[in-house]
Structure 1
Amino acid sequence: MTERELAEQVVELVRRSAGPGAHAEATVSRKDLALTRFANSFIHQNVAGSSVEVRLRVHVDGRTATGSGSLTSPDGLRELVERTLVAARLCPPDPAWPGLTPPTPMPSAPAADEATAYAEPDERAARVRAFVDAAGGLETAGFCRTSQEFAAFANTAGHTAYGRMVEAAMDGIARTGGVDGVARLAADRLADLDGAVLGAQAAAKARAGVDPVELPPGRYEVVFEPAAVADLLQNLSYWGFNGKAYAERKSFAELGAAQFDPAVTLVDDPLAGSGLPFDIEGTPRGALPLVTAGTTTGVAHDRRTAAAVGGTSTGHASGESPTFGPFPVNIRLLPATAHAHTTGPERAGGEVTGPVADPDTAALVAGVRRGLLVSDLWYTRVLDPKALTVTGLTRNGVWLVEDGVVTRAVRNLRFTQAYPRALAPGAVLGLGRVPVRQPARTEPVWWSTPPLHLASWNFTGNASG
């Protein structure tokens, strides 16, 4: 049976077992993932797999329970329904039950790229080969992946939905003398991933990172490349624009307040790239403005958190939202000019020879009096969720910039920084013109951002401590 038929069958089984007074919603998703991994400059793993998940939520006699499984046989579906209904009878009453999504028109999603959805292993291998060759003998490692997801939804209110998403992504490093350079890109089409361009960028960064100097801790002006900005967007999403955190007053977000620099506009926009047109409650998804010219304008909600604040769901229900809360997963930081939307980095002419791989970043670096160019952030952990104070480390390349010129590689630094404060009014000195889509560890999560020039970033430690 198709995903749509399976979802409808699960709902019908609930009707038969629990009667007409039962409320139920079912989501069936099938994910196909193909992954080509490489290390020590050769492919060591090529895997492909397909998984199916059936998720059921029921509300019976004022009590709510959720169950899931991967068995789609008639017996498997009946067992899922039976144990979920048993769980509902054992649960405490749920007075905050938000009800089911009524029949609602679905938005049109971008057409999936069939060549990407059914890409052969040698197509991914060719991009790995190009990455390795472009690194010019440096040790390389990383992956190239293609994925697709089919999802269907049905509930006892008569609402149904169906969607599909396809994504390609590449993430690789080049290494020399213990120094790594990185390049990443996600796209709707495998054809938009150029392994040679990414490999050349990673290798140039690695070569430019040798013999680093140690700088003292302190506040530095910074230019963050898209990979580093992606960490800002991810933490702002999970902890700040989270509807549960907002409803419980644990988020920094204040709707209508000018909390960010006027240069900052953030939009959660799943249909601008790989994303499904509905969430697991069947709510349609579309562009959600989070920050408009510096003013906080929205947070992500599922039906439960929306009801708690007297709003409506924004289509961000997920398997994590009942506990952690609903959060955006496809944020775009809009570039300096609205017309400059592209699917990948602008390419500099000629050979890439230094840490600045594109003219977009170079233009921001040219405006730095004395500061740092940062490729990537990692191992970031939230210290204060309300202020969104985060600690973490730089990674894959840091360079000193003096009078607009990259002068020396710098050893990695630890930072402790309130992310909203770093983006506050007057703190953003510049934005690039070209957004670069960054892949996350799991699909279909991605962050689209240009490079970013900030007035101050608080580095609290160096290699010595």
Structure 2
Amino acid sequence: MSGRETEIAGQVVELVGRLADPAAQAEVTVTRTDAALTRFANSFIHQNVAESTVSIRLRLHTDGRTATGSGSLTSPDGLRELVERTLVAARLCPPDPGWPGLVPPTPTPAAPTPDEATAYAEPDERAARVRAFVDAAGGLETAGYCRTSHQAAAFANTAGHTAWGRMAEAAMDGIARAGGVDGMARLAADRLADLDGAALGARAAGRARSGVDPVELPPGRYEVVFEPAAVADLLANLAMYGFNGKAYAERKSFAELGAAQFDRAVSLLDDPLAASGLPVDTEGTARHALPLVTAGTTGAVTHDRRTAAATGAASTGHGSLDSPTFGPFPRTVRLLGAAGAAPAADTAAGAVVDPDTAALVAGVGRGLLVCDLWYTRVLDPKALTVTGLTRNGVWLIEDGVVTRPVRDLRFTQAYPRALAPGAVLGVGRVALRQPDRTADTWWSAPPLRLAEWNFTGGASG
């Protein structure tokens, strides 16, 4: 089965054959996205928006030069204009001796079948989850969103390679506010049915109430327990700057293949087929699960065809619209949880931590429980030293018990060092998928206990 996207991709390839030099090479990706968002503030829905967009991306190599064009017009005139414009751009580009060529026709893996109920969710289904979130907050002021997304994409190139696929995603992210303090809960899933607005609202409210009247702590190195949302920031920065094939090729990455750079408790897996219905990347290379770190040992970085050629490796299927400039990086990284049965479900509506996090907290003599990180900026890409702030809840841990809320703190920390051998004191068993800005990017992690984190001062400086 394929859709209109396949037809459009074929038309673009045909136009290249008619309008360009016979030796020209081209690849095209056509993506149709149906996205819907229900937003709420002051505990009321104030916006429900939906959009359906088509994006056409053409990369063309002719006479030793490469150019990329994009558009959204699917009419015959619109597609012709895209090809003609890209041809003109190619003639103006400098020579491209690093052109890696096209992927020949090859088998492609089967992507998971998307949930149809999520793909075609109605506004009242998202609104019901918002209502449950607001009601569960027990009168606290709330804000956030619930979104659903459906994507269908097709790939084709002038070598005769084609692919098509679909995906669906749902996500909810909300806060509850008590006494000027925000508590947060967020989750992404393949199915809208897996988002429990009441459970998320209760968790956000419990954190907000538990964060009132925070104390201020001096800067220093503290043992920490990170909630999954905070761990997601570690994964995102490790992915973008560490496991990035371009950064690796330019020796700007910390990654050393085959080296035990992380604690043995750390295993990271990129799982792109779980987030993208298209079974190939924008160059036509098949996507597949890629172990980045196994029991502490760095095993791979991600490549598109260009960075693979530069390093003598093979493409890992991570070509994207921005990989030629920023570099190919994994967008669906899982930190694998510890082995063993998951803790029993949390039945305390106002609990600050769930049982999985509580099991890690119990081992801390004195440290901090951190819910979320934000405004993180890379200071040193090679060491991946990052500065940023905590938000949405920090609590002091004393003798294995969460005792009092703490004001937000600024930190400066080398992320790989925080996960180095001996630095990871515990990994939870239940991974929670954290949404990113787009449906095809997410980070999945259990809570994490780290030996130390370098806090440099309060949120004001």
TM-score category (smaller protein): over 0.9
Secondary structure of 2:12 counterpart: helix
CA separation in 1, counterparts of 2:272 and 2:281? 11
The aligned counterpart of 2:252 is 250
Residue 438 of structure 2 corresponds to residue 442 of structure 1: yes
- Structure 1 residues 58-207: aligned runs within 5 Å: 58-207=60-209
Residue 345 of structure 2 corresponds to residue 347 of structure 1: yes
The aligned counterpart of 2:317 is 315
CA separation in 1, counterparts of 2:241 and 2:259? 17
Cα distance, 1:274 vs structure 2: 5.3
Residue 14 of structure 2 corresponds to residue 18 of structure 1: no
Secondary structure of 1:311 counterpart: coil
The aligned counterpart of 2:301 is 299
The CA RMSD measured in Å over matched residues stands at 1.2
Q: Deviations over 1:62-112 (max 9, x none)?
A: 110000000010000000000101111111110000000111111111111
- Structure 1 residues 326-337: aligned runs within 5 Å: 326-337=328-339
Secondary structure of 2:166 counterpart: strand
**8 A contact 1:167–1:186 mirrored in 2:** yes
Secondary structure of 1:232 counterpart: helix
CA separation in 2, counterparts of 1:338 and 1:325? 37
CA separation in 2, counterparts of 1:274 and 1:36? 23
**8 A contact 1:153–1:161 mirrored in 2:** yes
The aligned counterpart of 1:377 is 373
Q: Where does the alignment leave 5 or more consecutive residues of structure 2 unmatched?
A: none
Distance verdict in 2 for CA 1:94–1:274, change over 3 Å: closer
CA separation in 2, counterparts of 1:438 and 1:111? 21
The aligned counterpart of 2:43 is 41
Amino acid across the alignment from 2:297:
T
Q: Deviations over 1:397-418 (max 9, x none)?
A: 0000001000110000000000
- Percent sequence identity over matched residues? 80
Cα distance, 1:282 vs structure 2: 1.2
Cα distance, 1:339 vs structure 2: 7.2
CA separation in 2, counterparts of 1:328 and 1:463? 30
Cα distance, 1:163 vs structure 2: 1.0
Residue 353 of structure 2 corresponds to residue 396 of structure 1: no
Cα distance, 1:276 vs structure 2: 3.4
Secondary structure of 2:444 counterpart: strand
**8 A contact 1:214–1:463 mirrored in 2:** no
Secondary structure of 1:245 counterpart: helix
**8 A contact 2:151–2:168 mirrored in 1:** yes
Cα distance, 1:277 vs structure 2: 1.9
**8 A contact 1:200–1:352 mirrored in 2:** yes
The aligned counterpart of 1:432 is 428
Amino acid across the alignment from 1:365:
V
Distance verdict in 2 for CA 1:169–1:464, change over 3 Å: closer
CA separation in 2, counterparts of 1:362 and 1:338? 16
Cα distance, 1:273 vs structure 2: 4.7
CA separation in 1, counterparts of 2:459 and 2:421? 32
Q: Deviations over 1:153-199 (max 9, x none)?
A: 00011100001110000000000111000000000000000000000
Q: Deviations over 1:11-53 (max 9, x none)?
A: 1100111132110101100001000000000000000000101
CA separation in 2, counterparts of 1:312 and 1:382? 28
> Structure 2-normalised TM-score?
0.98
Distance verdict in 2 for CA 1:296–1:200, change over 3 Å: same
Secondary structure of 2:247 counterpart: helix
Amino acid across the alignment from 2:345:
R
Amino acid across the alignment from 2:422:
G
CA separation in 2, counterparts of 1:347 and 1:164? 33
**8 A contact 1:167–1:274 mirrored in 2:** no
Secondary structure of 2:265 counterpart: coil
Distance verdict in 2 for CA 1:455–1:80, change over 3 Å: same
**8 A contact 1:172–1:202 mirrored in 2:** yes
CA separation in 1, counterparts of 2:8 and 2:299? 38
Q: Deviations over 1:272-331 (max 9, x none)?
A: 455532111111111011001000000111000000001111111111101100000000
Secondary structure of 1:323 counterpart: coil
Amino acid across the alignment from 2:259:
A
Residue 456 of structure 2 corresponds to residue 454 of structure 1: no
CA separation in 1, counterparts of 2:275 and 2:86? 34
CA separation in 1, counterparts of 2:284 and 2:255? 26
Cα distance, 1:387 vs structure 2: 0.2
Cα distance, 1:443 vs structure 2: 1.4
> Structure 1-normalised TM-score?
0.97
Distance verdict in 2 for CA 1:105–1:231, change over 3 Å: same
CA separation in 2, counterparts of 1:322 and 1:378? 27
**8 A contact 1:188–1:274 mirrored in 2:** no
**8 A contact 1:262–1:295 mirrored in 2:** yes
CA separation in 2, counterparts of 1:105 and 1:338? 37
Number of residue pairs matched? 459
Secondary structure of 1:196 counterpart: helix
